[in-house]
Structure 1
Amino acid sequence: MKFGKELASQMVQEWGEAYMDYTSLKGLLKDILKFRQTNAAAAQSSAAATRKNSLKRRLSMYRAFSGLTNRFNTPRSNKEEDEEGVTILVSTVEQEGIIGAPPRYQTTFLVSSSSEAGGEHELAFFRKLDDELNKVVRFYREKVEEVRKEGDELSEQMDALIAFRIMVEKPEIELHAAAHRKDSAAATHARKQAKSYMDAIQETEMSGEESIRMSNDQKKRRMEEEEKTDNFTNFRPAPLEVLDHIKVNVEPETPISTLKNILKTSNSDLKFNRVELSKAEERMRKAFMEFYQQLRLLKSYCFLNTLAFSKIMKKYDKITSRKASRSYLEMVDKSYLGSSDEVSRLMERTEAAFIKHFANGNRRKGMSSLKPHVKREKHRITFFLGLFSGCSIALIAAIIVLIRARNLLRHKGSAQFMENIFPLYSLFGFIVLHMLMYAGDIYFWRRYRINYPFIFGFKQGTELGYREVFLLASGLSVLALAAVLSHLDMEMDPATRSYKVLTESVPPILITLLLIITFCPLNIVYRSSRFFLITCAWHCIWAPLFKESLPDFFLADQLTSQVQAIRSLEFYICYYGWGDFRKRLNNCQNSKIYQIFNIVVAVIPFWIRLLQCLRRFFEEKDHSQGVNGLKHFTTVAALVLRTLYELKKGATMRILAAVFSGITTIANTYWDIVIDWGLLQRNSKNPWLRDKLLVPNKAVYFAAIVMNLILRLVWMQLVLDFNLPFLHKKAMVAIIACLEIIRRGIWNFFRLENEHLNNVGKYRAFKSMPLPFNHEVDKRL
């Protein structure tokens, strides 16, 4: 693999602009090479070569004689040999007008750009190289300063944790014993000094030989005594006074804690129990792990950039046949990038502290927790993915053949099947389609190097790849299609005038199985991802009592595209609770309670997003969140009016539904494209898009804009009563719901691309972990 690709694959994507621009510098070297090749071809001639050789031979006649044995000649140093071929002079320049600013590195090209072929190109190369070096050094210095401050904060937290540990575990016996040993060691040391003093007086009266022998014996005895008492003389218990100025912060955020904070009744005083200690230790453990990852990334940043400068200078020497790399790389080594060992020392101290306090001194266990685990691709995932996909295709073919063979579309029970059974299985179709779109998003996020695990905050090494999501989707599709195939029974039992109970109970059995798998506490079927999804769903349910994060409102956005799936769940309850499922009959549409809940369940996802926007608006003082909340409120109004029109009809209701649907369609389309995707910027480098694009083909963005607009207009379909005569109404609703899911899948990719670029613009590559203790600002009594 070429170094350029290796650098792109190993760099921290959020810091991409802070790395050395290897591609640009390589392009300048290509310009130098091209210019030199062009001039060399034009200037070469056999006569010139002959004159040059003859000149060399004539000049060699007048060179000083070096002698036969080299006895009188002194060897030339490497420095003298390098000075003959030196072409650059590297130096540091102080920045004027900025007190305490680090120096800038500057290279002087000693070859005249006018006389030397390609000199102008080489001068441009070194100017660009100096700019890149100064950029890298400045960024590295800033990041090292940030981690140094975080290290100081972690040190203060560790002082508080150790003091807290002493107060909880109360090791009085051990501390008193250690203090006693310390006092005894001090007394022994005093006696030893007194004895040494008396021995020194006696030594003055002894002969020189005896004095030396006695001195050696004393030194040996002193070393043995120090080895015995060293473990206790250095013991110093942590000061407990630090606990007087901190507040505990170990309780997780809950709706109750949020309400207490609003009512100013929260109690955060230390209680000194083992539960608080365990929570504090867990938070500190996570904070140390995240801090160590920061140090690893910084060390990798330093190494990759240093290697990049080495590679590019070697290419320069090879192209120009000069000796400039040594002097320039010496400057790189002397710079803050090459000379600072702050990160390495912090890593060593972090490892030692983590192993001592959080791994019980077990280095293997501690380093296993600190170092990230490489996720391995498993062959069985690919195998089962192919198996389930093939089974799904076979089941679809079997269903189509069975429908055609039995002519079920024209059967007298087909309408009854579409009204009662089809909505039950369409729920699984919506879920599978959404999972397929999400798997496709993951594939393209990885292809265009969008750091979705960091953006979503997945636990390291547990994020699902597109193969895993495809596997889950194909497995669910096999279960659902097999259930549909077993349920294609249009004939009643002539004796009971009803269908088989087991056949009609297949959908709720399938739902129950999915719920059991989802909430299963065992470490099967990607437990970490399942619990992450459950946590985000719980935060959505209790919005705005939880502080919102991107995974929470991202999941709420997904739910807004699953309105029909939520209504299908409502239909499950009505059909099996109050309907006659054995005869495939229900009166759900005629029930006023069902109609009211049909509106409520459709509004829930948009209401959640409204509450989330209000929480962020009041907490972050972000006016754009207020506008976003207003947009979701208009969506709620449009959805209510549209549902009421479906139930009651009427010209007035139709006009109101059409007006509000049109307003919310325009508002949502604008917000999707301009705010969520960051496109349609007039003054961008890419007209009507944005300055930074990850997809090389710009037509993809314009196609996505058009697709989003067209699929947003699906909102108007139910208001305009547009139906196809050969499709059942339930099938038409399902198709519209599928189009909305497809639109959401497209939205997901560009939404996360824009979020990734925002993180890149702010160089955000680390998660901020909550610390267990809050230091009081005002420490006055």
Structure 2
Amino acid sequence: MKFGKDFKKEMVPEWAEAYMDYNDLKRILRELREYKQSKLRLAVTPSRAFEQKPPLEGTLSEGGDVEDQVIDVNTLRGVGSKKFYKTKFLRQSEEGGEIEVTFFRKLDEELNKVNTFYKDKLEEVRREASQLNKQMDSLVALRIKVKNPHQDGSSSGRVDNVDSTMPLTKNTSAADTSGVEFRGLESRVKANDKDQQEPYPGASDADPAHAKITRSDSRELHTYDYNQDPLEVLEGVRINHTLESPLSTIKGVFKDSKEEKLSFDKEELRRAEERLRVAFIEFYHKLRLLKRYSFMNLSAFSKIMKKYEKFSSRRASRSYMQIVDNSALGNPDEVTNLMERVEATFINNFSHSNRRKGMKLLRPKAKIEKHKVSFLSGFFSGCSIALLVAIVLTIQARKLMNKKEGTQYMENIFPLYSLFGYIVLHLLMYAADIYFWRRCRINYPFIFGFKKGTELSYREVFLLSTGLAVIALSGFLANLHLEMDSIGKHYKTVNQMIPLGILILILVITFCPLDILYRSSRFFFTRTLFRCICAPLYPETFPDFFLADQLTSQMQALRSSVLYICYYGLGESSRRQSKCHKHGVYNTLYIVIAVIPFWMRFLQCIRRLCEERDLKHLCNGLKYFSTIVAVIVRTVYELHKGKTSWMVLALISSAVATMMNTYWDIVVDWGLLQKQSKNKFLRDRLQVSNKSIYFVAMVLDVILRLAWMQLVLEFRLPSLHKMTVTTIYASLEIMRRGMWSFFRLENEHLNNVGQYRAFKSVPLPFSYNDEDDDKDD
């Protein structure tokens, strides 16, 4: 693979604009090469074609004297004593010199940009390391106080069952960093991972605390003084409450402060340890990406200077790379030392000195694509197509749609199986979204908050959709044969239970606690669904409102699920749908079940409005409230057909909801139609290179929103059955939601890119009185 492709592949997506612009520098060098070649062709005349070409100026093998005559790099001081570099090209008067001046000017801009970004991020990790070090002191003191409530620091110099800690901000001595070369860091870190797979020497299960406190490691220093009273360390320390559960939210409503005094109980200690463990993992991930950022940019500068030497026949690489290596970017030792200290602290305090276990948490392995997933996806796809063809041929051969009893049967049985069809279509759209997110380098695992190595690929989602399609189509085909054949009358009860059996099977698999069929993804889905149902008692996260938005497009699927209650709960399995609407309970559920997703989004908007005090969330909540009104009015009109007043109300409410939702989709959720954008009628940043795709998407969103309005008012073609039209409109809404999902996540990704936000914000467990004093000052 060429370096340019590898460089782009290894970029942190949210930091892409902070990397060196390698392609633009290559473009300038291509101009230089073309200029040199054109001059060379003009210089070689026919009479001199066979003469020996003299060597180009500058292709000498001498060292520093020739190099110093090519460029002169100066280090200047900017605002706030910040360094920046400016290169003077000493051979500007020669042919092609202007292009080389442009190259070095651009090279300096990129070096200053990359170096400034790296120093800013390095300052951030220093501050965060100081915070984590302070948090670890409090955690160790809390451990001592909880596990030894009657013991103070002066009573004993040794404390059982308490892990030690070490500072993350220790000043690095010369012994720590001598002989460290940047280009050897990758192999050295890998070697460190392999040479200590077992717990540290001296650690034992019988007395782990003693082993950790007494072991001698050059990277380990104790910051906690075990001879002092833990209450002195914990003085002024309070526990943070983030209102992350319904109970804590309810408590927070009646309390002004989200901080409480320490209660020194085991549950409090457990929660603090868990939150600090997550903070260390996220901090280590940040250090790894920062180190990789330094390595890739240093490699890019080295590669581009080699290309310059090749195209210009001058020797300037060593002079310029000396400046790069002496910059902050070329000295990643501080990041490496921080990584080593985080590893030691994390292994000692959060993995019982088991290095293998600790490194597995700090460095989770990337997910590996399996060939059996592709094979099974193709196999199930073929089976689904074959089953679908068999169903169509069966209906045509028996001419079911030409018989009254056959039409009634299809009206009764089809809604039960349409539920699975809507789910399959939604999974297919999600698989397509994942594919295009990856193609456009949209960091969807970070946005959704998936644990590394657990996110599903588009092949795996496609496998789930085709597998579900095979199960549903097989049940439908079996149902048809048993219903239409004379021998099937003896198995009428079994035949009626087939769709319910498939539904129960899907629910059992979804909520199964066993480690089968992507358990982590199933748990993530069920946990997010539960948070949506409990809105607004949980703080809203991106997965919460994203899932709730997906459910708003599954209104017909939710109503199909209500039919199961009518058929099997109200004893209408023999009379089917024609009798369901005569039950007041069914009609109530028919309205409520369609409103629930919009109501969840409305409550989520209210929660964010209370937390952020942003009127945008109020407008978003009013949008969902208008949709709730439109759905209720439309449903009442459907149940009371023929009343003009309800039709007018349905038309007005649906028109208002459609306009508000269309505007919000395009302008707010997608971030398009910006007035002062450099891309006319779009936005400044675009992940899709073909701009026409955005205009097509906007037009399709308007058309499909109008199709939803037609569904509301039951406009249908006379040649198609009512249920067919309803199914088509519901499927179009699901496809519109799939298109919306791609551009919504693209806009979220670009918002993160604009703020260089590549990490989760992890709340720390402790707060301090002195921090409040600093804020007041």
Instruction: Render the CA deviation track for 1:605-646: whole Å, top value 9, x for unaligned.
Output: 111111111211221122211111111111111111111111
**CA gap 1:238/1:428 in 2 versus in 1, 3 angstroms:** farther
TM-score, length basis structure 2: 0.86
Give, in angstroms, the shift of residue 770 of structure 1.
2.4
SS at match of 2:94: coil
**CA gap 1:46/1:568 in 2 versus in 1, 3 angstroms:** closer
Structure 2: distance between partners of 1:54 and 1:425: 81
Structure 1: distance between partners of 2:596 and 2:30: 60
Q: Tell me, yes or no, if structure 1 residue 314 matches structure 2 residue 306.
A: yes
Structure 2: distance between partners of 1:738 and 1:357: 52
Q: Residue type matched to 1:23 in 2? A: N
**CA gap 1:639/1:149 in 2 versus in 1, 3 angstroms:** same
Give, in angstroms, the shift of residue 247 of structure 1.
2.0
| Structure 2 residue aligned with 1:432 | 424
Alignment of 1:265-664 (within 5 A): 268-489=260-481, 500-584=492-576, 587-649=579-641, 650-664=643-657
**CA gap 1:517/1:327 in 2 versus in 1, 3 angstroms:** same
Structure 2: distance between partners of 1:653 and 1:552: 34
Which of 361-370 and 429-438 deviates more?
361-370
Structure 2: distance between partners of 1:585 and 1:643: 16
Structure 2: distance between partners of 1:641 and 1:104: 65
Structure 1: distance between partners of 2:762 and 2:123: 18
Q: Tell me, yes or no, if structure 1 residue 102 matches structure 2 residue 82.
A: yes
**CA gap 1:339/1:176 in 2 versus in 1, 3 angstroms:** same
Q: Residue type matched to 1:87 in 2? A: V
Q: Residue type matched to 1:32 in 2? A: L
CA RMSD of aligned residues (A): 2.9
| Structure 1 residue aligned with 2:4 | 4
Give, in angstroms, the shift of residue 82 of structure 1.
4.1
Q: Residue type matched to 2:90 in 1? A: L
Structure 1: distance between partners of 2:54 and 2:519: 82
Q: Tell me, yes or no, if structure 1 residue 698 matches structure 2 residue 683.
A: no
Q: Is the 8 A contact 1:497 1:583 kept in 2?
A: no
Q: Tell me, yes or no, if structure 1 residue 31 matches structure 2 residue 31.
A: yes
Structure 2: distance between partners of 1:588 and 1:230: 75
Q: Which runs of 5+ in 1 are unaligned?
A: 57-75, 181-228
Give, in angstroms, the shift of residue 271 of structure 1.
2.9
| Structure 1 residue aligned with 2:74 | 91
Give, in angstroms, the shift of residue 702 of structure 1.
1.4
| Structure 1 residue aligned with 2:761 | 768
| Structure 1 residue aligned with 2:254 | 263
| Structure 1 residue aligned with 2:731 | 738
| Structure 2 residue aligned with 1:121 | 99
Structure 2: distance between partners of 1:271 and 1:672: 47
Q: Residue type matched to 1:429 in 2? A: G
Structure 2: distance between partners of 1:455 and 1:54: 59
Instruction: Render the CA deviation track for 1:263-297: whole Å, top value 9, x for unaligned.
Output: 11888433323333233222222111111000000
Q: Is the 8 A contact 1:448 1:694 kept in 2?
A: yes
Give, in angstroms, the shift of residue 506 of structure 1.
1.0
| Structure 1 residue aligned with 2:146 | 168
**CA gap 1:353/1:231 in 2 versus in 1, 3 angstroms:** closer
Structure 2: distance between partners of 1:631 and 1:361: 53
Q: Is the 8 A contact 2:157 2:226 kept in 1?
A: no
Structure 2: distance between partners of 1:495 and 1:324: 89
Structure 2: distance between partners of 1:393 and 1:492: 22
| Structure 1 residue aligned with 2:121 | 143
Instruction: Render the CA deviation track for 1:382-422: whole Å, top value 9, x for unaligned.
Output: 12212211111111111112112222222332232233211
Structure 2: distance between partners of 1:765 and 1:615: 25
Give, in angstroms, the shift of residue 711 of structure 1.
0.7
**CA gap 1:238/1:248 in 2 versus in 1, 3 angstroms:** farther
Instruction: Render the CA deviation track for 1:25-64: whole Å, top value 9, x for unaligned.
Output: 00000111111111222233477899999999xxxxxxxx
Match of 1:254 among 237, 245, 248: 245
SS at match of 2:353: coil
Structure 1: distance between partners of 2:427 and 2:405: 32
| Structure 1 residue aligned with 2:166 | none
Give, in angstroms, the shift of residue 334 of structure 1.
0.8
Q: Is the 8 A contact 1:159 1:238 kept in 2?
A: no
Alignment of 1:114-263 (within 5 A): 115-170=93-148, 178=157, 236-237=225-226, 239=228, 240=230, 241-249=232-240, 253-263=244-254
Structure 2: distance between partners of 1:21 and 1:54: 35
Seq. identity, %: 54
**CA gap 1:491/1:426 in 2 versus in 1, 3 angstroms:** closer
| Structure 2 residue aligned with 1:214 | none
| Structure 2 residue aligned with 1:79 | 64
Instruction: Render the CA deviation track for 1:505-559: whole Å, top value 9, x for unaligned.
Output: 1111111111111111111111111111111111111111111011100001001
Give, in angstroms, the shift of residue 571 of structure 1.
1.5
Structure 1: distance between partners of 2:85 and 2:54: 44
Match of 1:757 among 727, 750, 753: 750
Instruction: Render the CA deviation track for 1:451-490: whole Å, top value 9, x for unaligned.
Output: 0000000111100000110111111111111110111157
Structure 1: distance between partners of 2:313 and 2:527: 62
Q: Is the 8 A contact 1:642 1:719 kept in 2?
A: yes
**CA gap 1:752/1:494 in 2 versus in 1, 3 angstroms:** closer
**CA gap 1:514/1:49 in 2 versus in 1, 3 angstroms:** closer
Give, in angstroms, the shift of residue 437 of structure 1.
0.3
Instruction: Render the CA deviation track for 1:88-145: whole Å, top value 9, x for unaligned.
Output: 00011112xx3x3311100011113xx3111111111111110000000000000011
**CA gap 1:596/1:673 in 2 versus in 1, 3 angstroms:** same
Give, in angstroms, the shift of residue 724 of structure 1.
2.8
Instruction: Render the CA deviation track for 1:544-593: whole Å, top value 9, x for unaligned.
Output: 11110111000010011001111111121112111331454652212233
Q: Is the 8 A contact 1:498 1:583 kept in 2?
A: no
Larger Rg: 1
Structure 2: distance between partners of 1:556 and 1:391: 32
Q: Which runs of 4+ in 1 moved over 3 A?
A: 44-56, 76-83, 171-180, 229-236, 249-252, 265-269, 489-499, 582-586, 718-721, 776-780
Which of 758-767 and 274-283 deviates more?
274-283
SS at match of 1:133: helix
